[in-house]
Amino acid sequence: MSNLSASSLFAGVNAGIYNSYAVLSNMYSDGLTQKNLSKAMTNTNLLTSSYGTTFAQYLSSNFGRIDKNNDGTLSSKEVGTLMDQISSRGLTRDQVSSLGGMSGISANTQATVLDHFNDIDTNHDGYVNSAEVQAYILQSKLENQKQKDKTSMINNMSIFYGDDNSSSKNSTSLLSYKWLQDDNDNNNS
């Protein structure tokens, strides 16, 4: 998860929605209606070259929720409101699942967010926002560092005190080195 930037997921989703809207709305003089959106989604040449189907499908399946004034056309203001909501409120599990892969994050990162969604969603509102993702990243890094420190401490303890499991007769520790040195000094006197 270390490759995940808290803002990259949200920026990628917003950019994808905005770019898809811009391409699609400029294609039709009467604006981006549900009918025009459906028509554009059947144009496979357009889908592969100008924008991904994922964001167009998202706009289509959420058309009624995005079209706040119910005029049958998505305006840039309505899409902007959607993007503001995503930025401030966050993404649902379904949004991460459907839009995350197209946002530019890796499939591994998307899977991590989905696998740990409930851990990331600390206020349990059903959304993960940028602050929650960033806090999760920092907490994960802290836990990883604690584990590394614990392992290092165990290794350093065996160096200091010696390894009881060693089969070598000459296995010594830093602590035994001092005693060996004292014994050698006493023998040489």
Specify whether the backbone of 129 is left (phi greater than 0), alpha (psi in -120 to 50) or beta: beta
| Alpha-carbon distances of 54 from 26, 50, 96, 98, rounded to whole Å | 18, 12, 12, 7
Closest CA to 105 of 173, 172, 7: 7
Confidence of residue 111 (pLDDT cuts 50, 70, 90): confident
pLDDT digits (tens, 9 = 90+) for 61-76: 999 999 999 999 999 9
How much of the chain exceeds pLDDT 70, in percent? 72
Q: What's the CA gap between 97 and 9, in Å, rounded?
A: 12
Q: In this predicted structure, what is the pLDDT of residue 3? A: 47
pTM of the model: 0.67
